[in-house]
Chains A and B, each alone.
Chain A
């Protein structure tokens, strides 16, 4: 993280960006809390259920902390003409929780995944805490979150050791690979999405104008108000 510190300092310097990033962190934490509740609902292990529940409550509290701080910052700002660039790829929040597929994971693989996710988040939030020193209130929020993340990181590892002592290294490696694979998929999806947008936008301007003219001229002829319903529409075989 250290080499990234100047970049993080730059990203977190802007108050509006800071506020909006905190808001997006709040959403991620709230979603993560819901996924942990789902994990608590699905596990058959009472200890894990209790711990997931505590973890979920922590995530909900983090969401409230991030949201509250963001609201204070946003209220203190005057509105800009253009939205500020967020740079989410460079300074993400608790990435990983948004990838949870609780239903598909066993307790052990979920714990391995959570452990790595929390460890990364603890490191990241500690870095944000350090670079937001000029905004002590925001820094305090990160400090509180880091304390909880450390607990989450520890309990997930100790529980993984409890329920799958022999498979622990393998599960952690698998979870690491899974995180990498998901990161790759995210990147490729974003790339495919961008390429798709470019191609469709080109098609829009190159191919569509004559059809657009046609559509506009027919629109002018369409009367407003009631349209009689044609009887043929009650046939169920057709998708049209």
Chain B
């Protein structure tokens, strides 16, 4: 039984601008109905990747196949572009009514008024902007403009949806509402989607597959949980929100675990690293427990040591506690825990975490791509 043809297949994709390689993706495959989120810092090449997949940028070398056909060679550019829809960071609406904006993709394809009118009406309705049909696009609020641009993209019934940081400029409430709507539409229509963002919450929420990009390359690809638990290197670890990364040297091996030493403390972690190896240990902040130094029952007996609180930053749902244990540690404490165990800057506390929550990166590991 042969595998279904992937919607996208990129091979040896490279884009060179001004002498430097700004995109370097040896291989990337996206299956039908799949939703891939790509996160990365500014300048990572996320937009470039998206635009290259959309055939808006010509790659310096390599090719993209759409359903097995080479774009440009086997499938004409225009026909290909008309199968996809792209939503960019700014709504980029045209200076006309909301109705005409949503109809613009259809008008470009040569549909007559009586043909596109029902489609547009349905779209306006679906995205909750039916009451704005006659309004000028220039007079819309941020959220309304965004909805209009989304409606415009969906009006053409694309096979592929490409989104480039579509919600970054919106306030949280509007963003939330739009995310909900988008989620629902995508679930209903099962359109193949590539979603680029620098907000990892959005990425985690929308997709089952995550790609982490940096300096033009895809560092790691996989399910969000996988990447969070096993980041392939320090950059990825930081990008997925790991805030405690400690460089240590392995001192001894145990059957399933090993012990590494740093700043006079010993940390046990699950893994097979040998004595003498340099490793990076990553611990997610929510997995670090804080307790009183002379508590009788430490939360995690195996990794338990003292530290001093340097700074407490209140975040919305929890507090971010920065500690110094000889090496920097960041822990998150819920507001509830704080009522039971109040903390203050300068306090001496005990830090503990489970060896299974420690993720190991062999130190100096090179950026790997596509570990599928």
Q: Bound pair: A and B?
A: no
Give the interface of B toward A (CB within 8 A): none
Give the interface of A toward B (CB within 8 A): none
